[in-house]
Amino acid sequence: MTVIRRKIPLLRDRHSHPLLYAALMNAVDLNQPGETRESAIERVRAAAAGGGIGWTIATGWNSGRFDLDKSDFDGLPPVVVLSLSIHGLIVNDTGRVLLREHDDAVAAHLDDQDWIERNLRRVLNVFARTGASAERLTVFFGRLRDLGVHSVEEMLLVGEDEIQLFDDAGLASRTQFWAAPETYDSASPAHRERIHGIKLFTDGAIGVTTAALHEKYLTANHNGILLYNDDVLEALISRYASTKPMAIHAIGDAAIDQAVSAIESTRLGASRHVIRIEHAQFISESTARRAKALGLHLSMQPNFSEDSVTYADRLPAGYPACNNPFRMLIDRVGFVPGVDLYFGSDGMPHGVQEALRQSLFPDGGHEGQVLTIDEFVAGYCLPGMAHGSIDVEIDPVNRSVRAIATIAR
């Protein structure tokens, strides 16, 4: 009786990595309810033993839930285990041999998390290119539609040839291409036109304790990693934001503060394209006010509200409650969902079900993370139902959500 029913448009996911996730779609997904260290090792071993030549890939490893080590997979064909945030990876002995053929430098730096963060695109490209094809993209986008997602932005082109794959699959209208500076610079003029904007990373991720915080992680003797010094970051923004929109990955409060300060000091004025902060999980109220005054957009992931629980073991005291502060951003600072605040999944996971559940009923119970259904629709959905719709049932008593997508054919 108390269940609320609504029909909402399909999702427009503002942050994903479709080619990478298409490559990973048949991977062993370790982000399952009830997964243990033992069951994870057993499932990866079974897949590797039964697999053909090449990589056995496992994804979704949550190091907050259980440990895994390279030695758990030695003696098997090539295995790579990617962490939930895809900023960390484990490669077994035979995998290291195979990796040397793909990319010598990545193979040489596997145990150097600092290098991995600074070269993340290069690391992920090894796996994104595995079996990349227009057919695979087509299957992947079909699965997304079943999950209630019409379009996903490609936040990091694997290379300019990825644009051709999207064209071959007839899917270019369901994405928007973002590229690292070096990918953009080396692209042909025709492909440069097709690239919507430039993506920069200023820090890492929480799971691998590389998101740059003002305080030390509980499980490490450091604050995370800032990937640029202030001058270099400011120069990069000055150079690219006058040409293209920019998306700047910044998760930790120290990284977000640095990015906002760098944008302030560029003084590009009206000639500046839109700049988005990606993730912005630990943005403070004072920095949010400066970001709003600069006209910055925030591209955030309601599903990352879960990080408050998942990474409670490593985040400094007080941080879990400050993650994804949607109420502060909307009610106190004046960000408007769908205008300068919008949502995506980063593929963790894709789909309306988890996105909506985490938006309405975040796991940690932090009130500051709660969105209304109207804010969700404004910030996450297509403007209309031409492509299909999602029937939603919300049960506020049991704090549960049921969402079923219907696709217009």
The count of residues interacting with Zn ion (CB under 5 A) is 2
Residue pair 308/320 in contact (Cβ under 8 Å)? The answer is yes
Cβ 118 to Zn ion, closest distance in Å?
16
Q: Is 407 exposed, middle or buried (0-12, 13-18, 19+ CB in 10 A)?
A: middle
| Euclidean distance between the first and the last CA atom of the chain, given in angstroms as a whole number | 33
Q: CB of 396 within 8 A of CB of 388?
A: no
Location of structure tokens 């006010």: 289
In the complex, least distance from residue 344 CB atom to Zn ion, rounded to whole angstroms: 8
Phi-psi group of 366: left, alpha or beta (phi > 0 → left; psi -120 to 50 → alpha; rest → beta)? beta
Site stretch for Zn ion (CB under 5 A), options 114-122, 151-159, 178-186, 388-396:
151-159
The nearest distance, CB 301 to Zn ion, in angstroms, is 9
CB of 398 to Zn ion, least distance (A): 32
| Nearest CB to Zn ion, comparing residues 92 and 299 | 299
DSSP H or E stretch at residue 58: strand 56-61
Residue nearer to Zn ion on the CB measure, 117 or 346 = 346
Stretch touching Zn ion by CB under 5 A, among 4-12, 155-163, 332-340, 391-399: 155-163
What is the torsion angle, in degrees rounded to the nearest 10, for the CA atoms of residue 169, residue 173, residue 175 and residue 177? 90
- What is the nearest approach in angstroms of Zn ion to the Cβ of residue 155? 5
CB of 189 to Zn ion, least distance (A): 27
The residue number with the shortest CB distance to Zn ion is 346
162 contributes a contact to Zn ion by CB under 5 A: no
Q: How far is the CB of 85 from Zn ion (least distance, A)?
A: 9
The minimum distance between CB 199 and Zn ion, in angstroms, equals 9
Burial label for 6, CB within 10 Å (0-12, 13-18, 19+), is middle
- Residue for token pair 């949502």: 343
**CB nearer Zn ion, residue 98 or residue 248:** 248
Residue closer to Zn ion by CB (options 155, 187) is 155
Q: Which stretch binds Zn ion (CB under 5 A): 43-51, 147-155, 177-185, 263-271?
A: 147-155
| String of contacts with Zn ion for each residue 331-360, x by CB under 5 A | ---------------x--------------
SS3 (DSSP) at 129: coil
123: helix, strand or coil: helix
Sign of the dihedral through C-alpha 309, 290, 254, 62: positive
Task: For tokens 């990589």, name the residue.
Answer: 55
Rounded Cα distance, 72 and 234, in Å: 43
Which residues form the interface with Zn ion (CB under 5 A)?
A: 155, 346
